[in-house]
Structure 1
Amino acid sequence: MQRVGALIMQQLMRHRMPQGQLLRRRNPTTPAVLLSTFTQQQQKRGTATSTVSSKQATPPPRHDWNRAVSEAERIVGYPTSFLSLRWLLSDEIANVALHLRKLVGSAHPLMKTAKHLLYNGKNTMQAWGLIVLLVSKAAGHAPSIPDVEQDKSAGVLHSQRALAEVTEMIRISHLVHNSVVNLQSGTQAGQDVSTYDDMSFGNKIGLLTGDYLLGHSSAELANLRNQEVVELISSAVRDFSESEFIGERDEQNNPLPYKPGTFQRPSLSVAVDFNEHDVMTPMPIGQVLGNPEQEWECRNILNAGSLLGKSCQASLKLAGQSEQMQRHAYRFGKHLALAWQACLDAEIFQCPTLPLDTTFSLVSAPVLFHLEHDPSLYALIEPGKKSVELIDYVQIHKAVIAGPALAKTKELQCKHTAAALSVLQHFPATDARQALENIILAMQDL
């Protein structure tokens, strides 16, 4: 069946894909070539444009993100953007949507989060459920799995599809909960009566929506009737909470970087990850503070990589795969999430000027790398201990793009992209694995 499916995919791609991509699909690309292509394109992006002769070879075509996602969705059966359609159309969420209309025109962060979730463009990654399903199909399942539990048309298990829905719901609930505003009397929102009413109402909607999604995902997770899977995904929710207690915070609970020199720089040999044989053991956070790259990895593994990695691992656990394959799935999900976060962190600093009324995370990779390069930048960040509204983001943006931090962030993205591609080679060569490779390579062109 896989061979027939591959032949069908080749015929489809003949009519849809550019000639360069068709040749690459006919001749399976080795990991070395994939990594070389990624590195070459990163180097071309980072260097200045030089004069070239007309006979010089044309650069490789850009990988289209939407096309890569569309092909992947076709492989797993149906668009994963509709994975959660069942609960999106429920009465509870429909009522939330009606209440959200009252927040239109207000400055509540929940509206920005809703726009971020609904806008399916290059700035969002509505593909976490898709990644879980692709990993599931790429790895396959044990022969002992009964036929009644298999979705033969898509090549995954019904329980794996349910797990993909749970992953999406937990991620969305986390983003919605993060939109809650801390209304203290010393803040502008706490002093302005009209603003306070809007913010208070938005907080209620955010809390109720996030709690509903988290509670519903917990019920769906329990229906899988697999204690080990429940423990894995529950530990990912725990990691979300733990990520909120790393470092200093302003009054709105926005994270702030450590002052350079606060912590002694640890050894670079310290691994930033969970125990390989027990990912439910908390991460040793104290051992990685002080190093920009390790601290960034620690924050984002807890905040994103843990859920995607453990969901991929749990999907193979449901399929009866070996522990070694489960660990490969975890590492792939973790590195993919980190590569995506590095891509997001670098995006705002690729603009020569900061757009009006735009901010960025002060613990993003470019800011942390620039603090290592120039500790004096912390003088612009220190006023943010009271409120990030007191920070001059324009000056920080100018300082970062003038230094080496953006190039280091690109190297960080390349590192985790290469790691994800390397781990992917442990999976059988199937159309699902090819789709995952296409998604990873398309990420570099966002």
Structure 2
Amino acid sequence: MWKQIVTETNRQWATLGKYHTRLWPFAPAATFTFAQQPTARKLTSTSAAKPTPPKHDWNRAVSEAERIVGYPTSFLSLRWLLSDEIANVALHLRKLVGSNHPLLKTAKHLLYNGKNTMQAWGLIVLLISKAAGHASSVPDMEQDKSAGVLHSQRALAEVTEMIRISHLVHNSIVNLQPTSEAGKDTASYEDMAFGNKIGLLTGDYLLGHSSAELANLRNQEVVELISSAVRDFSESQFIGDRDEQNNPLPTKPGSEPPETNGTATTESIDFDVNDVMIPMNVLKAMGNPEKEWECRNILNAGSLLGKACQGALKLAGQDEDMQRQAYLFGKHLSLAWQACLDAEPFQITTLPLDTTFSLVSAPVLYHLEYDPSLYDEIEKGKVSVEKIDYVKIHKAILGGPGLEKTKELQRKHTTAAIGVLEKFPATDARTALENIILAMQDL
């Protein structure tokens, strides 16, 4: 009788877990179990082999981190999913099913929690906030004592995710003007134009709402900090060569500025050490594989995460040195994550049909330094990157040092991020951040 009760209860909990995952897609998959009837403890020998430590699991690391800082941090919570604005967007997105508009791919990556997206940015901000603590001068009403963070820090975490996602949605817009054949296929053209409208309005809505939430923090320095990250997003769209669809192309080999002398360090490519709001010197980075990659990805992602972590500690009243360390942690973590994503398409020996990858990813840039002749293939994409033979480039990179150098690049920034964490007090929040970094390496 007891076994029947346990079996039926486990089945019901498993069903509830599946429903929870569909209803709240940003929450990590959960497994519910019901304890078996206790049995007598068996005596074991002290010489028994110790169990091997479990492999670092991403969902497990994120789930544990969310428990430490309270409820899941993603703005795609029930209060957003059930709002009229998001419901209308979801309704219009259904009309794009069957088309090739990039917005559908972006929406899929946002709605399904997986290793290909970084939906945990708000969680990172809250964890670094709890790891650093706050000044004693912060009023009690501002503190969320159950989670160990401030209400303003939680609001900043949501703002960070909204800005990031608005940027991704805006990047899904297709440029239809240069396409001479755009008006001939009426159905396809109308689908693309409609998708552009949805992407533009959705991105603007999220960016506008995040601006209002940011202003509610009533902290001018934090507003300036996050605003400069939005500026960096925009700047990242105008550096280097582009095709007519505004897809980035790598700098032609041999275009390296003479002052770089072939050297590249993380410290050489960054914002001003005394003021991260001063624009980055982009010119000295182009043409050098590591510098160019770091420059592009700091502007495109690392700036927001790093400045959000810095802003969270500014809200907590921490000193400038701690704020600087928080910025460095966010920057290095985002770069390590991007290196992981860049290496993924090259972990397989054969590129699947109709699969593409970024032409400014680390393996491509490193291989162009190793074999500049490959740039002849990339030059075919000056009008559109669709004319490039990705299979040929993929095969060439597998035969060169690009993938191994990308893994070294990931290890470099992973080590730097962990080194920054060691300067924070030893807490459960710091441990959770370390577990996330270790789990990221196993992706």
TM-score (norm 1): 0.85
Is 1:223 paired with 2:220? no
Q: Which has the larger radius of gyration?
A: 2
Q: 2:107 aligns with which of 111, 114, 117?
A: 114
Cα distance between partner residues in 1 of 2:378 and 2:368: 10
Is 1:356 paired with 2:349? no
Q: Residue in 2 aligned with 1:295?
A: 292
Cα distance between partner residues in 1 of 2:247 and 2:79: 33
Q: Residue in 2 aligned with 1:204?
A: 197
Q: 2:158 aligns with which of 165, 178, 194?
A: 165
Preserved contact between residue 261 and residue 290 of structure 1 (Cα < 8 Å): yes
Structure 2 vs 1, CA of residues 153 and 219 (structure 1 numbering), >3 Å: closer, same or farther?
same
Question: Helix, strand or coil for the counterpart of 1:358?
Answer: coil
Instruction: Identify the range of structure 1 (132-141 vs 115-124) with the bigger mean alpha-carbon deviation.
Output: 115-124
Q: Residue in 2 aligned with 1:317?
A: 314
Q: 1:413 aligns with which of 391, 399, 410?
A: 410
Preserved contact between residue 185 and residue 191 of structure 1 (Cα < 8 Å): no
Q: Residue in 1 aligned with 2:137?
A: 144
Structure 2: which amino acid aligns with 1:252? Q
Is 1:74 paired with 2:67? yes
Q: 1:337 aligns with which of 314, 318, 334?
A: 334
Preserved contact between residue 272 and residue 294 of structure 1 (Cα < 8 Å): yes
Preserved contact between residue 309 and residue 331 of structure 1 (Cα < 8 Å): yes
Quick check: which one's helix share is greater? Answer: 1
Preserved contact between residue 243 and residue 303 of structure 1 (Cα < 8 Å): yes
Cα distance between partner residues in 2 of 1:367 and 1:401: 10
Q: 1:194 aligns with which of 153, 177, 187?
A: 187
Structure 2 vs 1, CA of residues 92 and 144 (structure 1 numbering), >3 Å: closer, same or farther?
same
CA drift of 1:88 comes to 3.6
Structure 2: which amino acid aligns with 1:361? S
Question: Helix, strand or coil for the counterpart of 1:81?
Answer: coil
Cα distance between partner residues in 1 of 2:301 and 2:326: 15
CA drift of 1:190 comes to 4.9
Structure 1: which amino acid aligns with 2:59? N
Question: Helix, strand or coil for the counterpart of 2:118?
Answer: coil
Cα distance between partner residues in 2 of 1:405 and 1:60: 32
Cα distance between partner residues in 1 of 2:178 and 2:156: 42
Structure 2: which amino acid aligns with 1:327? R
Which ranges of structure 1 fall in alignment gaps of 5 or more residues? 1-14, 17-56
CA drift of 1:59 comes to 8.5
CA drift of 1:65 comes to 0.7
Cα distance between partner residues in 2 of 1:245 and 1:123: 25
Structure 2 vs 1, CA of residues 82 and 284 (structure 1 numbering), >3 Å: closer, same or farther?
closer
Structure 2 vs 1, CA of residues 131 and 256 (structure 1 numbering), >3 Å: closer, same or farther?
same
Structure 1: which amino acid aligns with 2:419? S
Q: 2:257 aligns with which of 256, 260, 264?
A: 264
Is 1:393 paired with 2:386? no
Instruction: Identify the range of structure 1 (197-206 vs 263-272) with the bigger mean alpha-carbon deviation.
Output: 263-272
Preserved contact between residue 151 and residue 158 of structure 1 (Cα < 8 Å): yes
Preserved contact between residue 174 and residue 245 of structure 2 (Cα < 8 Å): yes
Cα distance between partner residues in 1 of 2:240 and 2:255: 11
Cα distance between partner residues in 1 of 2:182 and 2:395: 29
Preserved contact between residue 189 and residue 199 of structure 1 (Cα < 8 Å): no
Cα distance between partner residues in 2 of 1:85 and 1:139: 29
Structure 2: which amino acid aligns with 1:127? A
Cα distance between partner residues in 2 of 1:81 and 1:200: 29
Q: Residue in 2 aligned with 1:429?
A: 426
Structure 1: which amino acid aligns with 2:147? A
- Quote the RMSD (CA, aligned, Å): 1.8
Q: Using CA pairs below 8 Å that are at least 6 residues apart, which structure has the higher relative contact order?
A: 1
Structure 1: which amino acid aligns with 2:91? L
Preserved contact between residue 138 and residue 427 of structure 1 (Cα < 8 Å): yes
Which ranges of structure 2 fall in alignment gaps of 5 or more residues? 1-33, 36-49
CA drift of 1:258 comes to 1.1
For residues 309-331 of structure 1, give each alpha carbon's deviation from its aligned partner in whole angstroms, at most 9, with x where no partner exists. 00000000000000000000000
Cα distance between partner residues in 1 of 2:243 and 2:431: 44
Cα distance between partner residues in 2 of 1:188 and 1:319: 55
Cα distance between partner residues in 2 of 1:196 and 1:316: 47
Question: Helix, strand or coil for the counterpart of 2:251?
Answer: coil
Preserved contact between residue 306 and residue 327 of structure 2 (Cα < 8 Å): yes
Q: 1:233 aligns with which of 226, 238, 241?
A: 226
Instruction: Identify the range of structure 1 (79-88 vs 253-262) with the bigger mean alpha-carbon deviation.
Output: 79-88
Q: Residue in 2 aligned with 1:25?
A: none
Structure 2 vs 1, CA of residues 151 and 353 (structure 1 numbering), >3 Å: closer, same or farther?
same
TM-score (norm 2): 0.86
Structure 2: which amino acid aligns with 1:403? G
Q: Residue in 2 aligned with 1:365?
A: 362
Q: 2:436 aligns with which of 436, 439, 443?
A: 439
Q: Residue in 2 aligned with 1:6?
A: none
Once the two structures are aligned, what percentage of the paired residues are identical? 80
Question: Helix, strand or coil for the counterpart of 1:280?
Answer: coil
